[in-house]
Structures are given as C-alpha cells and as structure tokens.
C-alpha cells in the first residue's frame, strides 16, 4: 500500500464508521477528477510528442513504459498509442489524414511537384526524406496521396508498345505524362504534345528528353 494510502487508513481508523465512509468517498471523487484531468493532459502530451518531436507511435509507447521489444506485444502497444493519438487530436482540434489516421505533419516541407521531380530524377523516398527533413514513410504516404507511384513511373518510362505509351501520354495523372515524356521510344507526335503540356513538370521532362535527343524544344 502506498504511504499516502497508509496514512489515510490511519486517519480513517480514528473516525466513526459513517464519518470514515464520507471522507474516503470524498477522497475517491477527488482522485477520479484528477485521473480524468491527467488522462486529458496525457493525450495532449502524446500529440505534442508526435507533432513537435516527430515521435512514432512505437516510440511514444516506449516513453510510456509499454512493451518495446520487437514482436507482437510491441505492435499492440503501438496500436494502443495510435488510438490514443486519434483521441488526443480530436481533443486538441488537430486535423488528420482520414486515410492514414496521421496528422499532415509534412506541412510545407513536401510539395507535389518537387516530390514528383525528385522521383523522376531517380531519388528514393528515403533520399527525399533526408533532403526535406521528413521521414521515408511520410514521403511514401504523401506520394500515394497524390498518385505518384514509382512503379507506374518506371512502367511509363520503359513501355515499348505504342498503345501503352499513348495511354500514359493521355493520362490525367501528370506523373504518368512526365514519365512517358522521357521514354526513348515515344512517338514524335506524342513527344511534341507533351512539350506543350499544361503541367510544368511534364513540360520540363519533355524538353529535357528533346534536348537529349538533340532536338529543339517545341
């Protein structure tokens, strides 16, 4: 029994039964109120740790003394923390990505055209994260959110069938058009059209491809 509880027990023993009941219930209500308040403060602190110190759910779990050894228990701890973070963000009014359940912490560090251009230049998510002071998984989520898929970029750049190249060139996704613009097998009519595309990254890639072929840009 904690020392404070032992002291209270001694005080209660010196009271009448009814008086002791009233006192212990009053103390219990005080502790419940304090517990509610500290629960809210704990949720707020977790949200701050994620947003300001960029701690992951697993790292927050470790700070809270939850199982941190790799394995199922650690995954369970991280899952519990993610649920608490959802509650905490609602409490403090922080918006979050409904798909991932994470707040948009990338802020102005990640820009769509910049991420697209870096991926077209061959950068990995980890390299982009290092250059933008974010995290690899954050960059990956950002890219997926904006339909910038590395596998699709590779497919557009390496396609040899005319029908596939035309499909990529006609795509509403600028990542597809920018990638196929650098395809060495791209027919001239599609290349010229992409040089006049309304998206700056597509035009840039098309102009670079024309320069590499030794042709003047349209």
Per-residue pLDDT tens over the stretch 90-132: 887 766 544 444 555 555 678 899 999 999 999 999 888 888 8
What's the rounded mean pLDDT across residues 144-148?
92
CA separation for the pair 136, 215 (Å, rounded): 37
Selected residue with higher pLDDT from 63 and 97: 63
CA separation for the pair 109, 128 (Å, rounded): 10
Q: What dihedral do alpha carbons 48, 64, 100, 89 form, nearest 10°? A: -40
pLDDT, tens digit (0-9, with 9 covering 90-100), for 163-196 = 999 999 999 999 999 999 999 999 999 999 999 9
pLDDT(156) > 90: yes
pLDDT(71) > 80: no
pLDDT, tens digit (0-9, with 9 covering 90-100), for 191-214 = 999 999 999 999 999 999 988 877
Find out whether 125 and 136 touch, Cβ atoms under 8 Å. yes
Find out whether 101 and 82 touch, Cβ atoms under 8 Å. yes
How much is the pLDDT for 170? 95
Selected residue with higher pLDDT from 200 and 11: 200
19 secondary structure, DSSP code: H
What's the rounded mean pLDDT across residues 30-39?
80
Selected residue with higher pLDDT from 200 and 20: 200
**Cα-based distances in Å from 6 to 11, 13, 144:** 9, 11, 58
Which of 3-17, 59-73, 134-148, 194-208 is the least confident region? 59-73
172 secondary structure, DSSP code: S
Instruction: For residue 8, name the pLDDT band (cuts at 50, 70, 90).
Output: confident
pTM: 0.53
Share of the chain above pLDDT 70, in %: 87
How much is the pLDDT for 74? 58
Find out whether 206 and 194 touch, Cβ atoms under 8 Å. yes
Q: Which residues contact 52 (CB under 8 A, 6 or more apart)?
A: none
The per-residue pLDDT of the chain, averaged, comes to 83
Top-confidence range, 102-111, 131-140, 153-162: 153-162
What's the rounded mean pLDDT across residues 82-93?
83
How much is the pLDDT for 204? 93
């Amino acid at each position: 029994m904690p020392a404070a509880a032992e002291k209270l027990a001694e005080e209660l023993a010196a009271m009448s039964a009814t008086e002791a009941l009233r006192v212990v219930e009053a103390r219990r209500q005080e502790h419940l109120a304090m517990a509610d308040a500290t629960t809210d403060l704990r949720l707020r602190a977790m949200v701050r740790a994620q947003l300001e110190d960029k701690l992951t759910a697993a790292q927050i779990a470790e700070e809270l003394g939850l199982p941190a050894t790799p394995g199922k228990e650690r995954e369970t701890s991280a899952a519990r923390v993610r649920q608490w973070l959802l509650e905490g963000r609602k409490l403090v009014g922080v918006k979050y990505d409904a798909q991932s359940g994470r707040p948009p912490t990338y802020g102005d560090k990640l820009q769509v055209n910049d991420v697209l251009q870096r991926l077209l230049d061959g950068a990995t998510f980890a390299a982009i994260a290092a250059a933008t002071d974010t995290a690899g998984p954050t960059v990956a989520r950002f890219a997926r959110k904006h339909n910038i898929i590395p596998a699709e970029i590779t497919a557009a750049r390496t396609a040899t069938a005319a029908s596939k190249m035309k499909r990529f060139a006609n795509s509403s996704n600028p990542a597809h058009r920018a990638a196929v613009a650098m395809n060495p097998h791209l027919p001239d009519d599609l290349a010229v059209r992409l040089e006049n595309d309304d998206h700056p990254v597509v035009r840039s890639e098309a102009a670079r491809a024309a320069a590499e072929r030794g042709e003047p840009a349209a």
